[in-house]
């Protein structure tokens, strides 16, 4: 993973990324790269990550390519959240209408 990310470094994100291994928002691309490498073998802090996202005001979650994480978000969230699963072009078009 380190080699792949070294050859294709991530660009700075437009919004903070909550890293699974720290459950904290991160905006620095180099830090994100290191955390992605750590995530491969590190512990996933799922509940803490959902709490962190709620703490910075996230109320809408989108899962791409499946319908497993969305229900987990709903169970883990302490507040009221909206979850969308995107698996097809129709789903993408429906999501774009909501935005």
> Residue 67: inside a domain, yes or no?
yes
Residues 29 and 4: beta-carbon distance below 8 Å:
no
Same domain, 8 and 39: yes
The per-residue pLDDT for 9 is: 86
User: In terms of residue numbers, what domain contains 93?
Assistant: 59-99
Cβ neighbour number for residue 53 with a 10 Å cutoff:
19
> Residue 3: inside a domain, yes or no?
yes
For residue 59, name the pLDDT band (cuts at 50, 70, 90).
Answer: very high
pTM: 0.84
Same domain, 67 and 95: yes
Query: What tens digit of pLDDT does each residue of 2-43 get?
Result: 999 989 988 999 999 999 999 999 999 999 999 999 999 999
Same domain, 34 and 71: no
Nearest 5°: phi and psi at 26?
Answer: -135, 140
> Residue 23: inside a domain, yes or no?
yes
> Residue 11: inside a domain, yes or no?
yes
Q: At residue 98, does pLDDT exceed 90?
A: no
> Residue 2: inside a domain, yes or no?
yes
Q: How many domains is the chain built from?
A: 2
| Structure tokens belonging to residue 32 | 């994100």
């Amino acid at each position: 993973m380190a080699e792949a990310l070294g050859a294709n470094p991530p660009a700075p994100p437009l919004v903070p990324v909550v890293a699974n291994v720290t459950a904290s928002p991160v905006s620095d691309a180099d830090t994100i790269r290191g955390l992605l490498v750590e995530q491969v073998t590190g512990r996933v802090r799922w509940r803490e990550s959902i709490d962190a996202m709620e703490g910075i005001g996230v109320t809408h979650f989108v899962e791409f390519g499946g319908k497993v994480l969305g229900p987990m978000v709903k169970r883990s969230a302490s507040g009221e959240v909206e979850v969308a699963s995107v698996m097809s072009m129709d789903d993408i078009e429906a999501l774009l209408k909501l935005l």
